[in-house]
């Protein structure tokens, strides 16, 4: 296989696999194991892509381009930068874990479920490799289709309200983006992200920003978040908070920052202010949230605020930190949601008031939750710490007070994470925690331990991402911004 | 002795073939034994649509340079041929859906199919008309056929109501068009579209009044607001196969002709009609989408959705550019497919349950009838303009055309309307998949009727066009571009 097909294959393999899972009359067991297999092959494909990738080259690589409709200058154009390669990597790992978890937990109508999960994998990978605005929009919206069904069909009791809110929020943002895409593309004469120049229209900037701010979500556009994260199954919540939110990171970096340098610098303070507000607000609500998923959901809101701080700092350090933190948050958030799912299975509730004392007699659960939690609260030496440190160092150049807010929020993160850990593991056994509630099973460990392993590897070598996202230097970051 | 004009028979072949098929079906109603009457007229009509499609395709490739034929009555150009292709395709699919449509058992089945092909012939004729007389002729021709088709199940009061309403309101629309034509003729002394343009001075009040009335008449046929009042009732009351055909083909004919009339005959009033069409588009988007939000009956919901799509398709007409022409023709292809497909699924459910389909009676259908469920899902996403369907590309082109013509307000109206429309399109998907059948017990008493292969074929074809027009944009848009060059932009 020639190397320029690798990028396209990252999209086609899961989509084709999803169709195969859905169309053929597999049994429950076959459908699940086939889906896991395809997800693992996808991880292997990503590794092959990463090996074919030259991290010293700041330009678009492994790109492929075909005319789609020429009269408006739209083409199927995909390719990878160092940083988008990392986001894709987070996607394939998280999706593999989510699919494996769903297989283990058992879902009704498995063929449709796994078909949709694989289709979602392809759509998210598509978002991260798109280099044409319309291709990007197509994948961005295509993510919504499986998510709508995954939350709406397999979600909890309040699923219908949750999906409705989720779809209305995201589509309102997306349609503003569509209008902005039409105007931007026709002004530029091309919809290609590499060929098009920059624009200084504040309106277009806001159109794109709105879409990504909803998707991330950024304060104050997070209204859909608590319901969607609570009502969906744990693995779908993991995917939503872990990687669907990173589609916003891609959009902010590849479109907003790269194509609107003037509006970005004019409105930088405004965006930073909202990001900091979200960072603090999310942390405070996470600290007060009554249930597991609430804590993880609002911590996700707060971490997305932090990532946005890094992106809009406009410095190499901030950008590198944002990418590193995106990957590390994807893994942390996924692990936490899957663990929340495991705990909910045992206690039949996620209310913290009914939990407690689960560490006694359940060493595996206690160890894994503690390890993930320690990384989540950014203990020095962890990948989250490295990411946050880079972001704060980057945003310090814009103004020390931003870094001060960020540092304060890290303290808050420690507070809500420790509250979560102690409410689940320590204190007296909760009313819903029975003696018979099992420790993590080998299958669950088999899913979460590899995630933890990747996190530990990143903690040991954060440079792997932060120095290999923009070809190492600021010139590389600039190159993305000025679009080579 | 009267001079007879030379007639380009080949250019008229799509119309003539369909008229021929109609005549044979009608004869079959008398001569063929009752037992095989349905297969006979079905076969003849299907063959007629296929042959007409073939002729239209040949006509498309052999009409690179538009010419006026039959003494100025018609234009032979690719614009006409493209519209003929869509109408024939829609007619063919509607024929497949009609196989299981038994409004009065097997009674009058020959007449039903004869009227179907006659209506299509009239629409194709209308799409090629280039003279105020032939426009009126074509309009009445297909309208009369449709009036009867709507009321064909005469024992159902709703059908009679639909037919009567359509007759009264439709005649009113036709009268408007006729009156407008008379005013334009009074102002210019010409009937042929191209000559009207060269004769009429800009700002001639009589001609503008005539133009306005012609727009009203065509607005009725395209079911654009505020001329849409008949649409929900007629769509609801008519046999579903007929509704499917009307929603796709009538709109195609009316919109394609409207663009021809405006561009060919009234370039001097450009400022007036672009603003008017823009306003009608916004009104249709508003009325269609807001009213659809509260519908429970699926056919009424789709009727309001078709009103809103008339609004979307008027956006490229208001743009009045090459790009707008291309956008309209492109939009019509996935729209027609989605519309016929969606109504076909409704027809299948209706025949299964033996009663009108509302959102509650869809519940669980997505799991019980996977193919129809997925198809309806895709059609709804297409209507909503989500990617992986041609509906997305169509909307994208329509918005691009509007922006290109400096009408950013139409882009904004379209975007807001799309956001609103999501609520009810996703509501259909919700009904299909997210509520379980036993919850509402909609299933038919005494088991389901056997699966209709022909209807499934029609749905499959519509599905292929809907999804295919997302991926194969380039070939389709090239055809649309060739067709759009036929109009004098």
ipTM of the complex, rounded to two decimals: 0.92
Are B150 and B234 contacting, i.e. CB atoms less than 8 angstroms apart? yes
Q: Pseudo-torsion of CA B289, B290, B296, B300, nearest 10°? A: -50
Residue B326: its chain A contacts at CB < 8 A?
71
Name the packing angle between helices B132-150 and B251-265 (round to 10°).
Answer: 170
Residue B367: its chain A contacts at CB < 8 A?
109
Are B200 and B207 contacting, i.e. CB atoms less than 8 angstroms apart? yes
Q: Would you state the pLDDT for residue B484?
A: 92
Rounded CA-CA distance B91/A190 in Å is 38
Residue of A70, A141, A185 with shortest CB distance to B386: A141
| Cα-based angle B241, B247, B250 (whole degrees, multiple of 5) | 110
Over residues A11-56, the pLDDT tens digits come to 999 999 999 999 999 999 999 999 999 999 999 999 999 999 988 8
Over residues B366-398, the pLDDT tens digits come to 888 889 999 999 999 999 999 999 999 999 999
The distance of B488 to chain A (nearest Cα, Å) reads 19
Residue B384 makes CB contacts below 8 A (sequence gap 6+) with B391, B418, B421, B422, B425, B426
Q: Which two tokens stand for residue A181?
A: 């895409």
Nearest CA in chain B to A153: B434
Which residue is it, tokens 């191209």? B194
Nearest CA in chain B to A108: B367
The distance of B305 to chain A (nearest Cα, Å) reads 18
Does any CB of chain A come closer than 8 Å to the CB of residue B403?
Answer: yes
The distance of B291 to chain A (nearest Cα, Å) reads 18
| Residues A179, B399: C-beta atoms closer than 8 Å | yes
Q: Would you state the pLDDT for residue A482?
A: 45
Residue B434: its chain A contacts at CB < 8 A?
152-153, 159-160, 163
Residue B419: its chain A contacts at CB < 8 A?
168, 171-172, 175
Tally the C-alpha atoms within 13 A of residue B141's C-alpha that lie toward its C-beta.
Answer: 22
Least confident of A262-276, A464-478, B138-152, B439-453: B439-453
| Residues A69, B477: C-beta atoms closer than 8 Å | yes
- Give the other-Cβ count within 10 Å of A1's Cβ: 9
B 327-356: CB under 8 A from A: none
| Residues A142, B430: C-beta atoms closer than 8 Å | no
Nearest CA in chain A to B390: A138
Nearest CA in chain A to B409: A179
Burial of B156 (0-12, 13-18, 19+ CB in 10 A): middle
Mean pLDDT value of segment B202-207: 84
Rounded CA-CA distance A430/A217 in Å is 33
Over residues B102-128, the pLDDT tens digits come to 766 677 889 999 999 999 999 999 999
Residue B396: its chain A contacts at CB < 8 A?
134, 178, 182
| Residues A153, B426: C-beta atoms closer than 8 Å | no
Burial of B326 (0-12, 13-18, 19+ CB in 10 A): buried
| Residues B477, A71: C-beta atoms closer than 8 Å | yes
The continuous run of DSSP H or E covering B105 comes out as strand B103-106
| Residues A175, B412: C-beta atoms closer than 8 Å | no
Q: What 3-state DSSP class applies to A119?
A: helix
The continuous run of DSSP H or E covering A66 comes out as strand A61-69
Are A470 and A82 contacting, i.e. CB atoms less than 8 angstroms apart? yes
In chain A, the largest separation of any two C-alpha atoms, in whole Å, equals 68
Rounded CA-CA distance B170/B227 in Å is 10
Tally the C-alpha atoms within 13 A of residue A323's C-alpha that lie toward its C-beta.
Answer: 30
Residue of B367, B400, B422 with shortest CB distance to A182: B400
Residue of B388, B418, B474 with shortest CB distance to A70: B474
| Residues B411, A172: C-beta atoms closer than 8 Å | no
| Residues A175, B419: C-beta atoms closer than 8 Å | yes
Phi, then psi, of A63 in degrees rounded to 5 = -90, 155
Residue A137: its chain B contacts at CB < 8 A?
387
Angstrom distances, CA of residue A54 to CA of A80, A81, A132, A468, B179? 10, 9, 22, 10, 72
Which residue is it, tokens 């396209």? A8
Residue B279 makes CB contacts below 8 A (sequence gap 6+) with none
Residues in chain B, overall count:
489
Rounded CA-CA distance B185/B266 in Å is 13
Residue B411 makes CB contacts below 8 A (sequence gap 6+) with A179, A182, A183, B399, B402, B403
Residue A214: its chain B contacts at CB < 8 A?
none
Are A89 and A128 contacting, i.e. CB atoms less than 8 angstroms apart? no
Rounded CA-CA distance A364/A368 in Å is 6
Write out the residue range of the structural domain in which residue A204 sits.
4-482
| Residues B434, A137: C-beta atoms closer than 8 Å | no
> Which is nearest to B248 in space by CA: B95, B144, B130, B41?
B95
pLDDT at B202 over 90: no
Are A130 and A10 contacting, i.e. CB atoms less than 8 angstroms apart? no
Does any CB of chain B come closer than 8 Å to the CB of residue A186?
Answer: yes
Q: Would you state the pLDDT for residue A475?
A: 45
> Which is nearest to B462 in space by CA: B352, B337, B277?
B337
pLDDT at B436 over 80: no
> Which is nearest to A27 in space by CA: A100, A104, A99, A110?
A110
Residue A183: its chain B contacts at CB < 8 A?
403, 408, 411
Residue B430: its chain A contacts at CB < 8 A?
152, 160, 163
Rounded CA-CA distance B137/B145 in Å is 13
Rounded CA-CA distance B454/B460 in Å is 10
DSSP calls for A353-387: GG---TTTT-HHHHHHHHHHHHHHTT-TTSHHHHH
Rounded CA-CA distance A400/A396 in Å is 5
| Residues A152, B404: C-beta atoms closer than 8 Å | no
Which residue is it, tokens 């900091």? A276
Angstrom distances, CA of residue A422 to CA of A15, A282, A356, A416, B340? 41, 20, 7, 10, 59
- Checking DSSP bridges between strand B103-106 and strand B74-76, what pairing results, if any? unpaired
Residue of B388, B416, B429 with shortest CB distance to A142: B388
Averages of pLDDT over runs of 10 residues in chain A (484 residues) are: 83 95 92 95 94 87 89 91 93 96 91 95 95 94 92 88 89 91 92 90 93 90 90 93 94 92 91 93 92 92 93 89 94 94 89 86 91 90 90 90 89 91 86 83 91 93 84 52 43
Are A263 and A290 contacting, i.e. CB atoms less than 8 angstroms apart? no
Are B118 and B26 contacting, i.e. CB atoms less than 8 angstroms apart? no
Query: What pairs with residue A75 in β-bridges?
Result: A67
Does any CB of chain A come closer than 8 Å to the CB of residue B57?
Answer: no
Q: Which two tokens stand for residue B17?
A: 């073939």
Nearest CA in chain B to A143: B387
| Residues A134, B386: C-beta atoms closer than 8 Å | no
| Cα-based angle B354, B358, B363 (whole degrees, multiple of 5) | 90
How many structural domains is chain A composed of?
1
| Cα-based angle B131, B137, B138 (whole degrees, multiple of 5) | 90
Tally the C-alpha atoms within 13 A of residue B100's C-alpha that lie toward its C-beta.
Answer: 23
| Residues B396, A178: C-beta atoms closer than 8 Å | yes
Residue of B386, B393, B400 with shortest CB distance to A145: B386
Residue of A137, A152, A178 with shortest CB distance to B430: A152
Q: Which two tokens stand for residue B441?
A: 């017990």
| Residues B412, A164: C-beta atoms closer than 8 Å | no
Does any CB of chain B come closer than 8 Å to the CB of residue A206?
Answer: no
Does any CB of chain B come closer than 8 Å to the CB of residue A401?
Answer: no
Q: Would you state the pLDDT for residue B34?
A: 85
Instruction: Work out how many CB contacts closer than 8 A connect A with B.
Output: 80
| Residues B367, A109: C-beta atoms closer than 8 Å | yes
Q: Which two tokens stand for residue A84?
A: 């988008």
Rounded CA-CA distance B235/B162 in Å is 8
pLDDT at B318 over 60: yes
| Residues A141, B419: C-beta atoms closer than 8 Å | no
Q: Would you state the pLDDT for residue A244?
A: 94
Q: Would you state the pLDDT for residue A483?
A: 41
The distance of A195 to chain B (nearest Cα, Å) reads 19
> Which is nearest to A267 in space by CA: A180, A202, A176?
A202
Which residue is it, tokens 């499959």? B460
Residue of A163, A176, A182 with shortest CB distance to B403: A182
| Residues B423, A168: C-beta atoms closer than 8 Å | yes
Residue of A71, A74, A182 with shortest CB distance to B411: A182
Does any CB of chain A come closer than 8 Å to the CB of residue B380?
Answer: no
Does any CB of chain A come closer than 8 Å to the CB of residue B400?
Answer: yes
pLDDT at B442 over 60: no
Mean model confidence pLDDT for chain B: 91
């Amino acid at each position: 296989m020639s190397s320029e097909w690798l990028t396209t294959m990252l999209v086609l393999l899961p989509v084709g696999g999803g169709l195969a899972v859905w169309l053929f009359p597999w049994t429950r067991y076959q459908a699940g194991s086939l889906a896991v297999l395809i997800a693992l092959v996808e991880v292997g494909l990503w590794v092959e892509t990463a090996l074919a990738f030259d991290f010293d080259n700041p330009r678009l690589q492994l790109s492929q381009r075909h005319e789609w409709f020429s009269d408006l200058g739209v083409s199927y154009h995909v390719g990878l930068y160092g940083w988008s390669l990392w986001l894709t990597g987070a996607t394939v790992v998280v999706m593999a874990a989510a699919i494996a978890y769903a297989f283990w937990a058992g879902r009704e109508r498995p063929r449709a479920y796994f078909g949709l999960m694989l289709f979602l994998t392809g759509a998210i990978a598509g978002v991260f490799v798109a280099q044409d605005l319309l291709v990007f929009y197509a994948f961005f919206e295509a993510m919504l289709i499986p998510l709508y069904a995954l939350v709406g069909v397999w979600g909890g009791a309040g699923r219908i309200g949750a999906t409705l809110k989720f779809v209305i929020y995201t589509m309102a943002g997306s349609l503003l983006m569509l209008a902005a895409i039409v105007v931007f593309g026709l002004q530029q004469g091309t919809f290609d992200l590499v060929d098009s120049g920059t624009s200084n229209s504040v309106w277009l900037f806001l159109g794109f920003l709105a879409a990504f701010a909803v998707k991330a979500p950024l304060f104050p556009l997070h209204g859909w978040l608590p319901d969607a994260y609570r009502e969906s199954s744990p693995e779908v919540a993991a995917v939503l908070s872990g990687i669907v939110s990173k589609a916003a990171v891609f959009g902010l970096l590849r479109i907003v920052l790269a194509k609107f340098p003037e509006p970005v610098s004019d409105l930088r303070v405004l965006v930073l202010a909202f990001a900091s507000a979200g960072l603090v607000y999310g942390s405070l609500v996470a600290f007060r949230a009554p249930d597991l998923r609430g804590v993880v959901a609002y911590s996700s809101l707060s971490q997305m605020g932090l990532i946005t701080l890094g992106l809009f700092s406009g410095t190499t350090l901030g950008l590198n930190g944002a990418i590193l933190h995106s990957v590390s948050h994807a893994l942390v958030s996924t692990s936490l949601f899957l663990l929340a799912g495991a705990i909910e299975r045992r206690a039949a509730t996620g209310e913290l008031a009914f939990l407690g004392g689960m560490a006694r007699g359940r060493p595996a659960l206690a160890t894994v939750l503690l390890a993930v939690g320690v990384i989540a609260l950014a203990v020095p030496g962890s990948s989250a710490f490295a990411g946050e440190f880079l972001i704060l160092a980057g945003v310090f150049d814009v103004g020390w007070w931003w870094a001060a807010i960020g540092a304060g929020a890290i303290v808050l993160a420690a507070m809500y994470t420790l509250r979560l850990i102690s409410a689940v593991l320590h204190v007296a056994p909760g009313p819903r925690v029975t003696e018979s509630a099992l420790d993590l099973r080998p299958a669950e460990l088999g899913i979460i331990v590899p995630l933890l392993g990747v996190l530990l590897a990143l903690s040991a070598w954060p440079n792997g991402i932060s120095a290999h996202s923009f070809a190492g230097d600021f010139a590389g970051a600039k190159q993305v911004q000025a679009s080579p | 002795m009267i001079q007879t004009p030379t007639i380009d028979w080949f250019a008229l072949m799509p119309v003539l073939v369909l008229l021929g098929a109609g005549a044979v079906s009608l004869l079959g109603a008398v001569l063929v034994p009752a037992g095989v009457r349905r297969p006979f007229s079905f076969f003849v009509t299907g063959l007629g649509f296929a042959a007409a499609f073939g002729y239209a395709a040949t006509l498309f490739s052999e009409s690179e340079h538009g010419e006026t034929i039959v003494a100025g009555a018609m234009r032979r150009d690719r614009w006409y041929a493209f519209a003929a292709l869509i109408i024939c395709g829609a007619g063919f699919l509607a024929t497949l859906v009609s196989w299981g449509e038994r409004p009065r058992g097997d009674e009058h089945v020959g007449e039903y199919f004869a009227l179907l092909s006659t209506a299509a012939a009239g629409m194709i004729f209308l799409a090629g008309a280039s003279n105020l007389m032939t426009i009126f002729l074509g309009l009445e021709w297909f309208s009369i056929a449709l009036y009867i088709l709507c009321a064909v199940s005469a024992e159902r009061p709703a059908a009679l109501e639909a037919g009567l309403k359509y007759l009264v309101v439709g005649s009113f629309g036709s009268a408007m068009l006729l009156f407008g034509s008379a005013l334009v003729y009074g102002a210019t002394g010409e009937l042929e579209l191209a000559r009207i343009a060269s004769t009429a001075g800009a700002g001639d009040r009589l001609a503008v009044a005539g133009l306005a009335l012609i727009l009203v008449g065509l607005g009725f046929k395209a079911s654009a607001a505020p001329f849409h009042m008949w649409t929900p009732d007629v769509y609801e009351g008519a046999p579903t196969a007929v509704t499917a055909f009307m929603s796709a083909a009538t709109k195609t004919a009316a919109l394609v002709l409207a663009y021809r009339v405006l561009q060919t005959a009234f370039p001097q009033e450009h400022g007036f009609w672009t603003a008017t069409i823009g306003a009608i588009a916004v009104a249709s988007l508003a009325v269609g989408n807001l009213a659809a939000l509260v519908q429970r009956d699926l056919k009424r919901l789709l009727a309001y959705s078709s009103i809103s799509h008339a609004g979307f398709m008027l956006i490229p007409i208001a743009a009045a550019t090459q790009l707008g022409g291309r956008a309209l023709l492109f939009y019509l292809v996935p729209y027609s497919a989605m519309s016929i497909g969606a109504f076909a699924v409704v027809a299948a459910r209706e025949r299964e349950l033996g009663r009108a389909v509302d959102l509650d009676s869809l519940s669980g259908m997505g799991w019980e009838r996977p193919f129809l469920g997925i198809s309806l899902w895709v059609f709804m996403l297409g209507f909503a303009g989500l990617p992986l369907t041609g509906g997305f590309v169509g909307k994208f082109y329509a918005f691009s055309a509007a922006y290109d013509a400096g009408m950013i307000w139409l882009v904004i109206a379209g975007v807001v309307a799309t956001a609103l429309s999501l609520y009810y399109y996703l509501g259909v998907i919700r009904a299909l998949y997210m509520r379980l059948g036993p919850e509402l017990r909609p299933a038919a008493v005494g088991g389901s009727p056997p699966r209709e292969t022909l209807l499934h074929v029609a749905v499959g074809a519509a599905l292929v066009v809907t999804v295919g027009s997302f991926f194969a944009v380039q070939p389709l848009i090239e055809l649309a571009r060739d067709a759009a060059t036929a109009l004098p932009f």
